[in-house]
Structure formats: C-alpha cells, structure tokens
Structure 1
Amino acid sequence: MTINVGDLVRCQANEMMTEPYLGKVLEKCEETVHVLILNYMPNDRFIVHELMQQIIVNSQQICRISLTRVAG
C-alpha cells in the first residue's frame, strides 16, 4: 500500500510516543514520513506539545487508514 502526501495514517508507538496515534502525511521522503499528529492518547499529550504536533517516523511504522461516513 502506497502512502501519499495528505493520507490519514495510523502510526505505531515508538521511542517518542508511548501509544499508537493517528496523523496526516505532510511530506514523504525515501524511508521516512513527516506526520501531523491529529489524535493521540492522553498520556502522550506533553510530548505531542513539545513536538508541536509533528513527528518524523519510519515509513514501515505506519499504515494508511480511510474514514467512512455513516448516514444518520
């Protein structure tokens, strides 16, 4: 599955973030992806603030997600 700029992604916990989180791809390089952190667990709130809601992660640690609108 190819990751493109603008995709919504689910990122695995890593050395900075203790829990998985959701984000949007801002930039893609060879083996890394620059992600805007959109949704995260409360215990990661301080590190997200320190990172200014942006992180660079290995492209193997993320997977693309899609949102489905439910009529209601």
Structure 2
Amino acid sequence: MTAPPRVATPSDADVQEEEAGEEAPVPVPLTGRRREIPWPEPQEVPPQWLARLEHLQKGLQDVKYQIEGALEDE
C-alpha cells in the first residue's frame, strides 16, 4: 500500500509570522465630544403596514381583556 498524498499545511512558524504581520487596532482616544449622527428623513408608511399594526393592536387589546377577566374571576 502506498501512503496517501501529503497535503500542504502551514507550519506553526508560518502562522506566527503571518499573525505578527497583522497590525493591531489603534485605540481611538475619547475626546469627550459627541459626534452628531444625522437622522434619516422620515418616509411614508405603507398602508398595509398601518392595517397590520391596527390588527395587532386589536389582538393585544383582546388578550389584555382576557387576562383582566381571568384575574377578576380568581
């Protein structure tokens, strides 16, 4: 039987050499000033989203009433 073909793998020395070549992140000094982040312009909400939101709100209200009713029954 013959030995399986050898697969080239990086040696430990090669890996350490590559890792040493990577630059470490430079810490950014905190200056105490806050950078203003611009808010995106408001966009119109699609009508189907509003309908879905109303449907979910009604469902939550129903659940709230069921919970309150169950608590009163106790």
TM-score (structure 1 length as normaliser): 0.17
Which structure has more RCO (C-alpha within 8 Å, separation ≥ 6)?
1
Relative to its length, the structure with more strand (as a share) is 1
TM-score (structure 2 length as normaliser): 0.17
Larger Rg: 2
